Structure 1
């Protein structure tokens, strides 16, 4: 069974231990009373991982008994969500990053000089390295032209 959208897979105490071991003071310095901000960050983090990876798990586990690496990934995501609520689920406008585009020989120039990358590769790399998820499928595009 994949991560649940209704059952939390990580406790605030597990995120406390994760954040403390890594010096993530945004979490450890945040008050635990009331607990709602931390609990809400954990829920948003779990929702993000469930939506992103539930179709890619290479092993089976129960939402209340996840591998350590999944606990770490949810914890990292929760820390980021506590620091900047909604950061895991931003609405992105890819057109805002494109400075110019052409069709002949297919060329795209991004506004900041580089193509947009995944914002949360650290979370994904943790799961990939543990062999818990498969790589994203790559899509190839073929252009046919008339000579």
Structure 2
């Protein structure tokens, strides 16, 4: 099944924000061998996983509103302002497309949204014992993707606090 890429029209069946060809060019410019090793079907599957992750993690934090109730993905959006500029409601920001590619390549190594169980405080394997701090994060934080998307999220990024002068 061919990948359906959002083009800014609010497609009801879109699956990703970047095409395989554009992701190929993005990673080729960065010398990413892991992406180049995948066949087209694997790349399409990875891009779908990347956009699924973005919807689950960043979806509630995006600035603005969806353009249409029937669009499959969170973008395009209206009423999004970055710095002094209003973003067009008919475009997918480059940062969103790149973040989709980045999450896709990270999906190659495993599940992006792995189920989490209770936290392990101490673990012993053979002669090695590791003690984790209380409240240690179990999931993976993708700082590079958070950085790409920060300006498009309410509050400026994942885990940040918006400060407004009265």
User: Normalized against structure 1, the TM-score is what?
Assistant: 0.66
Greater helix fraction, Structure 1 or Structure 2: 1
Aligned to 2:119: 95
Q: Number of aligned residue pairs: give it.
A: 120
CA distance in 2, matches of 1:53, 1:71: 14
Higher relative contact order structure (alpha carbons within 8 Å, sequence separation ≥ 6): 1
- Residue 102 of structure 1 corresponds to none
Q: TM-score, normalised by structure 2?
A: 0.59
Q: 2:152 matched to 1:132?
A: yes
- Aligned pairs for 1:1-12 (under 5 A) are 6-7=13-14, 8-12=16-20
Deviations, residues 35-90 of structure 1 (Å, cap 9, x unaligned): 22111111010000011111211245428841000111000011111x2242x111
Output the aligned Cα RMSD.
3.2
- Detail structure 1 runs of 4+ shifted over 6 Å in the superposition: none
Cα gap change, 1:120/1:6 in structure 2, threshold over 3 Å: closer, same or farther?
A: farther
SS at match of 1:52: helix
Extract unaligned runs of 5+ from structure 1.
100-109, 139-147
1:50 correspondence with 2:72:
no
Aligned to 1:76: 102
